[in-house]
Structure formats: structure tokens, C-alpha cells
Amino acid sequence: MANQGMNDASPARKGSITHVIFDMDGLLLDTEKFYTEVQEIILARYNKTFDWSLKAKMMGKKAIEAARVFVEETGISDSLSAEDFLVEREDMLQKMFPTSDLMPGASRLIHHLHENGIPICVATGTHKRHFDLKTQRHSKLFSLMHHIVRGDDPEVKQGKPSPDIFLAAANRFEGGPVDPQRILVFEDAPSGVLAAKNAGMSVVMVPDARLDSSYYQVADQVLSSLFEFRPADWGLPRFENASTKLD
């Protein structure tokens, strides 16, 4: 269970948030389990097991960057290249992605911020083709986003932990670029939390409970679920029961 403490963001900074950026996989959508499943299947062929220390190094990254980590860290790169790994897992992922569910509290928080006029967007390492499969059951909810930046965007030269994707997201808000100090990022992955901090933004981390807690330290706040987020901690409008939709 994640601790729910606040780390180092100053009280002044917490009151200055005007814009919000959401990660997608593992934060808004319960899609990380699909990657875990196919990676377990592929590794089993080499009599190896997939664990959360490897997962922590892959999640949040662009596909090819995560694939390189996978074949190198598991020592199978002589038998399976990163490119072939991506081809091999593709059929399985394409069947899984359209079944993607929302993470608990995602719908409530997105509706709440949108109804209160807080500009929101998505910054996801995933590329457009996978994004479309993952979100096909949730297009209404994602239409509330001011914009969406994906990993294959030309402005995203390097994946997380590079700040590229969050800086691109900050640039595209109305009247952008928005000052990073005014932006709050929600992330589940260690690489994503680092990317947001590298961009100079504040980060709420909502990690999977299996992730080692040593990764919590970089985040400004760590929550077990989006349901536990209290907007007033960051100077954002409080939840009013009547105007929010529960998952």
C-alpha cells in the first residue's frame, strides 16, 4: 500500500496549480496488466520469470525503449531482438487493448476537473495505433481532454524519463506554454515521475502496490488510488457530490 504523505512541494507551489496532465497506461487505464501478461508468456519460453524490478524499468517508456530494456535485462538479446520482441507481442496486445478498463477514480477526477474549468490533457508514451485500441470504449471521457500527446509525436524526441512529452503537453494548452510550476502531473511509473520532475512540474504518483517503495521518493505525493486525491491539497476545487460522477 502506497503511503499517502506529501513530500517536498512547497505549500506556495501547491496553491499555484492551474493545469493538470494525466499519464494514461496504469494511471487512467488498467492496461499495464496486459504488458505484464504478454511479457510473462514470452519470457516463459526462455525459462525465465518476469518480475516487478524489471517491470519498474520498462513501464511508462516508448515501446522500442522498453523493448530494449526487456531483452537486455533478461539476457535474451542474442536470441530475440527488441524489434522482434515488439512484433511477437503485438498480436496478443491487439486482442487485449480493446478490453481496457478505467482505473478506479479516473472518471470521477476527470469529470470533476473538467466541470470546474481546469484545463486537462494526456501525455502517454503509447503510440497512436495502440492509443486508439486502448481508448475505443472510453472516447467520451477522453474527449474531455484539451489535447493528447502520444509517444510517437514528432515533438517527443525521447521517451520518459526525458521531459519532452510533458513539455510538449505544457506548450499545447490554450495560451501555452504554461509555466511548469503551475502544472500537476498524475503518474504511475518511475520513469514518468522522473520525466515530470525533469520538466519542473509537481507530481502525484499512484503506483501499483507491487512497485518497490524506493521509487516513491521523487514524487510530491503518493496515493493508493485516484479516489484518494484531495484537490484542495493542491489549491484545486474540492469535490462536490452533486457535480461528480462516480466510477
Ligand X SMILES: O=P(O)(O)OC[C@H](O)CO
Residues 6+ apart with CB under 8 A from 28: 22, 102, 103, 106, 110, 122
Is position 212 annotated as part of the catalytic site?
Answer: no
Decide whether 17 or 24 has the Cβ nearer to Mg ion.
24
Q: Chain-centre distance of CA 163, in angstroms?
A: 13
Burial 49-78 (b: 16+ CB within 10 A, else e): ebeeebbbbbbbbbbebbbbbbbeebebee
Residue 25 found at the interface with ligand X (CB under 6 A): yes
Q: Which of 25, 153, 164, 188 is catalytic?
A: 25
How far is the CA of 143 from the CAs of 121, 135, 138, 148, 166, in angstroms?
10, 10, 9, 9, 19
> Does residue 180 touch Mg ion according to CB under 5 A?
no
Near Mg ion by CB under 5 A: residue from 9, 20, 22, 23? 23
CB of 10 to ligand X, least distance (A): 27
Binding residues with ligand X: total (CB under 6 A): 12
Q: Is 23 a catalytic residue?
A: yes
Q: Which of 189, 196, 203, 226 binds ligand X (CB under 6 A)?
A: 189
Site string for ligand X, 36-75 (x = CB under 6 A): -----------------------xx---------------
- C-alpha cell at position 65: 525503449
107 contact choice in ligand X, Mg ion, none (CB below 5 to 8 Å, kind-dependent): none
Name the residue nearer to Mg ion (CB basis): 25 or 153.
25
State yes or no: residue 207 binds Mg ion (CB under 5 A). no
Check: CB of residue 189 under 8 Å from CB of residue 160. yes
Residues contacting residue 57 through CB under 8 Å, at least 6 positions apart: 69, 73, 190, 191
Q: How many CB atoms lie within 10 A of CB 137?
A: 15
Q: Using CB under 5 A, pick the residue from 65, 153, 188, 220 that binds Mg ion.
A: 188
Q: Which x/- pattern, by CB under 6 A, does the window 119-158 give for ligand X?
A: -----xxx--------------------------------
Q: Give which of 130, 175, 120, 178 is closest to 150, Cα–Cα.
A: 130
Q: Which is nearer to ligand X, 9 or 165 (CB)?
A: 165
Question: How many angstroms separate the CA atoms of 110 and 195, rounded?
Answer: 22
Residue type, 174: E
- Which residues contact ligand X by CB under 6 A? 23-26, 35, 59-60, 124-126, 189, 192
- Which residues contact Mg ion by CB under 5 A? 23, 25-27, 60, 188-189
Q: What residues are annotated to the active site?
A: 23, 25
